[in-house]
Structure 1
């Protein structure tokens, strides 16, 4: 039986469930709001009214979970303009957002809010533009900062709390004082944009967010859950929605029963979860209707699955790999170590996923050295200089790594110094790109490790292959590494030297690339050279770099690194791939799809997504042979190259294809000029794919969008799709709009029974909110 306090908390929570009249919004025209330079769409005005109600009610906040592109930012700005603080000492709204969005927020506030008395004085606390104390910050109406900023304060506050346990009268020392999360840091309102960034309750970012003190709190995210209901808990904990900000209560009522095999318990938990979300969350998507008409009038989107068959050789490779993986998994199962071997199992699955696309991917090498623009010799030196504790930690990983940015398994990650943490090569490419900092107006920004938030030098990284070679030579010797060499026509590679672009390497250490200085040093007793000009000639000759390998003698991985690093080498790399190119079944079927689109009279443009840049490299071979105009977009390209690729794709009629890395292009791109999308391989998370498809299916699209998913049947890809559907079903059920509307019509007794507030009700809970609708609103539950 619930305690008296818990019952009261539940009663207050349920008071926020009102009869749902979203389909009967009075205003069908855009609505003016005092203080704004624009009018709000009818659904945006309804969103503003919901935000105001949440802020002024018992929740003191909530989750605005509108779909991407529906204007969550402008709704939040409307709230800041219309619900100002009356306390001049506590008037500041703190906005936490990814670095890339800070300037966008500032620009939106400047352009959407009228000047004069309505103006919101805004400050971005980031990089060199930082204030010294919380007192300085609260002079502003709005302060914008990053997740990393508050995460950096967590260590300070935890250190102070440890001292305070020993000495209750302790006061914060200078090195323990915080500007955002300390006990004396009071905000009027906190808004977390892209709130899925705190979905893991154990991360530093999430734990720091939990410390924030504010009168009201809001989360903004188009994906309040991406994998499981546990991610929702972190948002609720930040919002301090009682009683479910307590993990034990949340786990008991939702987490455990939703995973249960007991269907009755699962259904009861789902109804309760839907009711909870109805009380704290507002979500509208592109198909939501107001007054019988959809919010957005977008063309139709259709998904077509195509299933190529493996060739005999591909099937043999896949079956052998699958059999080997099953044997290894059974060993973990028998030993009872499956949970402790999670990363090893992910790597087994990673290889199976790659084998579905092309056998060459199984031995795919990373591009860390190329992105960091350092030589292998330099990487070896960096590796030898690692601290002993870092070396021990990397060895203990036993070759199993999970990228902390995209959460995928990775075999050969980028390893940062000095901390020794890692990411996948694609995510490292984005972290290392200095043009990202320039785009964000932060030229002097120091890159930070996504794991520990410590500063890293992106020019001093290693990869795991390098680490094994230096610190685990026995392991490296056992690796079944194939050195692929390809004969190349002499005419193709005549006089091509690796050093043709040496100006890019001016800052590198050239000690390992120079001849001996013996020819310059004068031996004892020898006649000194009086001719200064001759001495200079001898010095120049002595310092002349060694002649480097010709392209014809290089391996495919070596060429790939150069192709990433120097655009001039891309053609050479593709020629090498072309010489011994063998298509996979998946590539052949993709080419059939592309051929059908390219020869059709409509002239549609196409986006092709894959998780692996090497698969896109292989696809380039037949695409270029066809003479089709295309561009690439992936994490190894700097911001200018990516922007140029997008411009060409949008503006040049002959450029009809964009080959995009899923990790680099699943968000932030507007490619609505394309109406055909090809997904070459499935990702664990269905919402990553949805975001990718939304590059084309978005505002401004004038054609129906066709999505082609290329999947191999009876492989691990089947299981990934099943997992996607399971995740999608759970989250869609929890966020179901029809269930939400029906919950708004449940009676007081039904809601009381649902949450266990009362066991003596005349009416039992209906079989489901959609099965039997009761008339009459909620009213005051305490009555």
Structure 2
């Protein structure tokens, strides 16, 4: 495996066959020291190389997760007598560029999973591969194909090359010039052309079948794509009952495809037979049987035991040799330890469905655990800042300085991810100080650390993830109903946090052993993942029979709506403009010579198309003014008008699922600079502390105080629209039809979710006009205001409606007082909508629950649902990595998705 000097690339096989030249003479290390460590992976697309280390937050672990198949190339590791690193046959090793090596600037260093150096790739082979690895044209992985000898060791290299068409053609030319074979590249290009032709044929056939089939009735066999039933305005059906509305809408089960955790975790039958623990006497709440099973599992995972001599069992993927009881081998990486016991992780991932009581299960663990020998009794709980828990709350600017002995006086300490990251990375310091420290969270060796909403650290490069991983603790737990959101790399971050040993805690090894083989359909990799999940993760679903939550039925429908003529006209005008922008971007015919600005316009158009599906007034002012201003100057002044325009641009990036250009992962805590570049807040603050300039355009000075944050959460707009009682739309009228029908059914209470608070404002005006009593929660409200709204929904029989933004669906709301959900618009990530629904359909719900998804006919909303369905399917089957990559000048990243959205 090798890290590269570039960001995300998509790679396919390059078959470099042929014999390596004879290895060079072995090279001793400098006197009194080993050969220097490989330089940290640099980010060289922007700026000087000497600044690259300041940009990268994470460790030196490689990426390159979107890999295709490979072919082996056999060569040798030389100079092994000068190094202490050892690996056994079949063990995965890491191949790194070592340009700082004083004996060979082309050096390729080989390390085992413990980062001990084994030796170097032979000089002749290294001279061939070095420049390709430096440029990011090739990635290299390795595993030992023979035993380590006195002077050398055989190694099999897996060589990966780009599958991007233009880069692939350039790579082929370079390889031919270097007399390296390129037959596989030619083969891949032929395959790509063939696949593209087949795809075009499928699209043409689908378009032929598309006409004349609408309104044909429900198509139960196409629940993820076909949606029947249409509501046309002015049809005289204003008095329809809920049952009649259901008949004109399609039954829809978005979760029927399942999730990766279910497929690769333990089966329901196995979970049902798990042993139970006694309910702790100090716990006031009586645990349900499945919660007692969870407690037994939690206690077992906090006290793992190595397999006994002669046993064939594997514990955390470690097996004891049958021939020598003093040898342990990791079945994932083939890494072995002799006369030394491997370190076992204490903890795991509790991934029960939302609403099943994960918090109660962890409280029962804290109460039940009474280790007399434990040096500390204190448990640290890291939670989103919105969670309000008792005991000691260590959070916010008012917290007092505390030492380990101060924390030790408490049973539980609650802190936030923000506080954790801030303490690990003190402002003004380039690198975090060593742990342990004299005071603060990193002065304490905690009895256990619990990450509530553990998927928050799914990006292993963020400050929060690195801070959590570097906490000192005997046991580590992550609580999350969604351990995998985007791809399997999300799971890697949790594996590293838990402290699993044997090699999977290194990203390069994790990629090589799990992610890429799974993408290729490798059966052994599937079995390995199943073993890993069974080792570290407990996942039960509400629907499992043995859980027996006795939840009432959940029925989900897609309700399709026709545009009114004037709405259709506005939609088609925006769609035509978006298609024109797409053609301009694809052809590179941008007048001002800045393709990225055209791309921004295009992303904004997609946002506006989605907004006009709800109401034409949501479109608001376009961001063209600030883009025009940026064409004449590098940065804009933070006037109120410009701040508002920058927030609009930031909202576009959030809505469009853009990646952070620094960590190359999904935006977390997004901000925008005065030069109009969007980053995750943790990433850009780290750059500002060391460089004070934008890593994208090098604009300076860049200060933390100049970063612009969203108007409110999740990109909700803070615009105050000019609303009157005549401000309605097809979708609003369809919503009112559902509410009118629901009002006839006594006891029905409805939660209406939208991602735009401005749309909630429009609905609110209509509710006032029609005399409905309602409550509301959104990202702009204070906690006490939200609490009052929840109380009103629960206790006031006349309050039958709750208006809620999707931004608040992940902060612990319990909405079981309602039994009907309306999703007014679709969010890109299906997990967000699932969370919203689970706030209503959860433990404590006594009534059958109905979910309505409002979708405009022949609109972008159709494709949004299709993309959601594909994300679910991909997560269940092949763990395909998302195709999005960092957006740079002239890039065509994600154009495939955009083209589909504009069909």
Query: Shorter-normalised TM-score: what interval?
Result: 0.5 to 0.7
Aligned match of 1:322: 575
CA contact (8 A) 2:401 2:439 kept: no
| Structure 1: runs of 5 or more not aligned | 11-15, 107-121, 164-170, 367-380, 425-447, 455-556, 562-572, 736-783
* 8 A contact 1:201–1:207 mirrored in 2: yes
Instruction: Please list the CA deviations of residues 288-308 of structure 1 after superposition, one character each: whole Å capped at 9, or x if unmatched.
Output: 222xxx430111010011111
- What is the SS of the residue equivalent to 2:296? helix
Among candidates 381, 384, 400, match of residue 95 of structure 1? 381
From 710, 715, 729, the counterpart of 1:584:
729
Secondary structure of the structure 2 residue equivalent to 1:636: coil
Q: Please state whether the residue corresponding to 1:215 is helix, strand or coil.
A: strand
Residue 429 of structure 1 is matched in structure 2 by none
Partner Cα distance (2:770, 2:645) in 1: 48
2:776 is paired with a residue whose SS is strand
State the Cα RMSD in Å.
Answer: 4.6
Partners of 1:53 and 1:406 lie apart in 2 by 43
SS at match of 2:557: strand
- Aligned-residue offset at 1:24: 2.9
Q: Distance in 2 between matches of 1:210 and 1:281?
A: 18
Q: Give the equivalent residue in structure 2 for 1:190.
A: 449
CA distance in 2, matches of 1:288, 1:186: 38
Match of 1:73 in 2: 359
Closer/same/farther in 2, CA of residues 162 and 210 from structure 1, 3 Å limit: closer
Q: 1:199 to 1:364 in 2, by over 3 A?
A: farther
Alpha-carbon contact 1:611-1:661 (below 8 Å) kept: yes
Q: How does 1:141-180 map to 2 (within 5 A)?
A: 141-156=411-426, 159=429, 179-180=440-441
The higher-RCO structure (CA 8 Å, 6+ apart) is 1
Inter-CA distance 342–54: structure 2 relative to 1 (3 Å threshold): farther
Q: Which residue of 1 aligns with 2:235?
A: none
Tell whether the 8 Å contact from 1:25 to 1:42 is kept in structure 2 after alignment: no
Question: Within 2, Cα distance between the matches of 1:396 and 1:585?
Answer: 29
Cα distance between partner residues in 2 of 1:19 and 1:621 = 47
* DSSP 3-state at the match of 1:656: strand
Q: Which residue of 1 aligns with 2:531?
A: 275
Deviation at residue 733 of structure 1 after TM alignment? 5.5
Cα distance, 1:673–1:384 mapped onto 2, change above 3 Å: closer
CA distance in 1, matches of 2:267, 2:845: 36
Task: Classify 1:251/1:76 alpha carbon distance in 2 versus 1 (closer, same or farther; 3 Å).
Answer: same
Residues 141-197 of structure 1, C-alpha deviations (whole Å, 9 max, x = no match) = 43332212221123349948589xxxxxxx999xx8663347xx5333222111122
Q: Structure 1 residue 51 and structure 2 residue 308: aligned?
A: no
Given candidates 608, 630, 634, the residue that maps to 1:351 is 608
Q: 2:502 aligned with 1:232, yes or no?
A: no
Aligned residue among 595, 609, 615 for 2:753: 609
Aligned partner of 1:307 in structure 2 is: 560
- The CA distance in 1 between the partners of 2:747 and 2:622, in whole Å, is 36
Structure 2: distance between partners of 1:630 and 1:365 = 32
Structure 2 matches for 1:325-340, cutoff 5 A? 325-335=578-588
**Distance in 1 separating the partners of 2:481 and 2:745:** 37
Match of 1:205 in 2: 464
For residue 365 of structure 1, report the CA deviation from its aligned partner: 9.2
Residue 234 of structure 1 and its aligned partner are, at CA, apart by 1.4
Within 5 A, what are the aligned runs for 1:223-302?
Answer: 223-242=482-501, 243-257=503-517, 260=519, 262=520, 264-265=521-522, 269-290=525-546, 294-302=547-555
Partners of 1:382 and 1:605 in 2: how far apart?
47
Task: Give the match for residue 657 of structure 1.
Answer: 801
Aligned to 1:711: 855
Q: Distance in 2 between matches of 1:423 and 1:702?
A: 48
Task: State the Cα deviation string for residues 731-765 of structure 1 (Å, max 9, x = none).
Answer: 45699xxxxxxxxxxxxxxxxxxxxxxxxxxxxxx
Q: CA deviation at 1:6?
A: 5.3
Post-superposition offset of 1:268: 5.7
1:303-358 C-alpha deviation (Å, 9 max, x unpaired): 01111112233223222222322333344444599999876654332112112111
The answer to which structure has the higher helix fraction is 1
Aligned-pair CA distance for 1:283: 0.8
What does 1:117-132 correspond to in 2, within 5 Å?
124=394, 127-132=397-402
Determine the C-alpha separation between the residues in 1 that align with 2:275 and 2:647.
62
- 1:359 shift after superposition: 1.5
For the structure 1 residues 150 and 725, does the alpha-carbon distance in structure 2 shift closer, same or farther, using more than 3 Å as the test? same
Distance 1:328 1:418, change over 3 A: closer
Matched residue SS, 2:555: strand
Cα 1:40–1:417 shift into 2, 3 Å: closer
The offset of 1:640, in angstroms, is: 4.2
Out of 237-246 and 675-684, give the one that drifted further.
237-246
Hey, what's the Cα distance between the residues in 2 that align with 1:397 and 1:353?
20
Change (3 A) 1:623 1:179: closer
SS state at 2:826 partner: coil
Do the aligned partners of residues 186 and 668 (structure 1) sit closer, same or farther apart at CA in structure 2, a change above 3 Å counting?
Answer: closer
Q: CA deviation at 1:627?
A: 2.4
Q: Given the superposition, is the C-alpha separation of residues 50 and 625 from structure 1 closer, same or farther in structure 2, using an over 3 Å criterion?
A: same
With the length of structure 1 as denominator, give the TM-score of the two structures.
0.59
* 1:282 Cα deviation after fit: 0.2
Residues 37-60 of structure 1: CA distance to partner in whole angstroms, max 9, x if unpaired? 443222112111211222222332
In the superposition, the TM-score normalised over structure 2's length comes to 0.51
Contiguous gaps of at least 5 residues in structure 2: 1-71, 73-86, 93-111, 115-264, 305-343, 624-635, 660-666, 687-716, 880-903
- Find out whether 1:702 has 2:837 as its counterpart: no
1:345–1:279 Cα change, 3 Å: farther
Residues 747-766 of structure 1 mapped to structure 2, 5 A cutoff:
none
Specify which of 857, 866, 888 is matched with residue 722 of structure 1.
866
Query: Retained in 1: the 8 A contact 2:462–2:682?
Result: no
Deviations 1:609-637 (A, max 9, x none): 11112222222344333323333332334
Alpha carbons 2:384, 2:811 under 8 Å: kept? no
* Offset of residue 597 of structure 1: 1.7
SS of residue matched to 2:724: helix
1:21 aligns with 2:270: yes
Asked if the contact 1:343/1:402 (under 8 Å) is kept, the reply is: no
Q: Distance in 2 between matches of 1:56 and 1:74?
A: 20
Deviations 1:226-259 (A, max 9, x none): 232222221112112232221112223343455x
Find the counterpart in structure 2 of residue 541 from structure 1.
none
Partner of 1:136: 406
- TM-superposed deviation, 1:275: 3.2
Corresponding residue of 1:668: 812
Any residues of structure 2 matched to 1:2-41 within 5 Å, and which? Answer: 21-25=270-274, 31-41=278-288
